[in-house]
Structure 1
Amino acid sequence: MTERTPQVVRSYLAELDTALGGVPVELARDIRNGVEEELAGLDAATAAARIERLGDPVFIAAEARAGAGVGAGSAAQVTTGTDASRAATPISDSRGFAVVAALLVALGGVVIPVLGWVVGIAMVWMSSSWRRGEKWIATLVGPVAVAVPILLTWLFAGGSAGDARNPLVPSAVDTWWATIVILIPTNVVVGIWLLWRTRRRAVNSVRP
């Protein structure tokens, strides 16, 4: 790095250096050098876009540990001056945890109505596999999909006069079924999207 290196690159490489604790020294050096070479000579805007594709440093490090077969015990041996408990990879950073979280978002609400989806969203927020913006998207899409038909029903019902039921206004039962029909495929799409995002980030993290 030089004095002309954009701050976004400096910050990203610093986070990567910290995250790579516990990764075998040669592998950590190769990853670090590869990322630095990838970002060399870029302006701030281009570097920020490239960093978005590279992914979260914590996730890159977790993938490196998993690929190297580094566990809690071996991580302490390859990391100088680092406590073994810090070198261990948290289960929430693992690929399996991310897959389970995405599947619960997609189908948890079908297996255990509401609660299954809530558990899936909680796991998404615990995982480092997704960025904050992606977590907010996963959290809000389902509730918005539920709120839209309810809001439309309320608006149409508010515009009807008298005691006679407007045939154009869906009943509460109609609204309930419409919500289910919309919510289930919506959550499935969100779950697939989460899996795609974490898969894409994993591929980018190991790309030479």
Structure 2
Amino acid sequence: MTVATYPPEATGAAFALDKMIIARDQTMLAVQRIAKLLQPGITELQAKQLAKEELERMGMQRIWHGSIIRFGRSTLKTFNQPIDPDNVLQPDDIFFIDLGVVWEGHEGDAGDSFVLGDDPRKLACAHAARQLWQEVKEKWLREQLAGPALYHFAEQRAQAMGWQLNLDIKGHRVSDFPHAIYQAGSLGDFAACPDSGLWILEIQIADPAGQFGAFYEDLLVREE
């Protein structure tokens, strides 16, 4: 049996960049809405159920990757590690939400970090993840770097900012659903400048003391 092979930036016949942007915007909106629902005392398992209910209210087509919500020390975990279902959100916690949702046949993937209370180090960590993501995007726009160079830059900037970049998290393809048939590998290993609207840039950083981390991801897209 012959297995079809595709270029790493292949898309399906239904692909449309404007629909990718809609999917991105809807998914990021869902992240923000779900974050507002999470109150101290909730468990990670309960948070995941709340996320499912909110996505259904918003009219999602389907989830294309399992919703990830992590509290406290669990923010150090990577995507493939299971949630801690009994982990409870504390009044002064940091947490992040990572959603992969299909809207109008296209894959949205977005993640952000949030802080309850006013712990300055946790607030700084969440802010740094967003800032670092933006700096890497601007580097991509200015210099049209390939994936490895983008993550090398991210690692250097994270260190300069006082954080540790998790290089096991290196971004991935998205497309009209399902992108998985293209087997494109990670953004951090992609040896060309990533095209607009096809790749998710992921940034996960950790406090050097190893107590907590923060996560931010969004679509790399040139928006005029």
Taking structure 2 as the reference length, the TM-score comes to 0.29
Taking structure 1 as the reference length, the TM-score comes to 0.31
Greater fraction strand:
2
Structure having the higher Rg: 1
